[in-house]
Amino acid sequence: MLPTPTKFNLATGASEGISPLNAFDQALLAAGAGNVNLIRVSSILPPNTEFTPQIILPPGALVPVAYGKLTSNVPGTKIAAAVAVGIPKEGFGVIMEYSGYTSKEKAEKIILGMVEEAFSVRKLKMDRYLVKPVEHCVVKIGAVFAGVILWY
């Protein structure tokens, strides 16, 4: 069993590669999460978790992350991903992730609506939120990644 994370940050990256997997790998590297093993988690930020602008991850670490990603091999296509964290004054927060064939501005607008709805259905009051989008115009094979990295 993994311990409950105490830190988090928002990481984004975009890249090109010779295959969809290579493009995704290089987007992870651009986001600072390329040399670890991601454990995909759902959308709850543990209580009292501190935002940390930069988290140094040891190579090979098992890293919990909620993320959105998208790859495309259609040249000229705009792709975007975004993550957002809604944070209450006390208690747990909510993480949302999004990816689509759109701009980062539109992705940011969509993700904020998602966080607001997540708080509403839980009857929670949001104190503040953090959001981070990324976009990429595909040259040959492109990828975007946006994640909330949870750490200890």
Catalytic residues, which ones?
Answer: 37, 42-43, 97
Burial 48-60 (b: 16+ CB within 10 A, else e): ebeeeeebebeee
Rounded distance between C-alpha atoms, residue 150 and residue 101, angstroms: 27
Q: Cα separations (Å) of 135 from 7, 14, 124, 144?
A: 26, 7, 30, 7
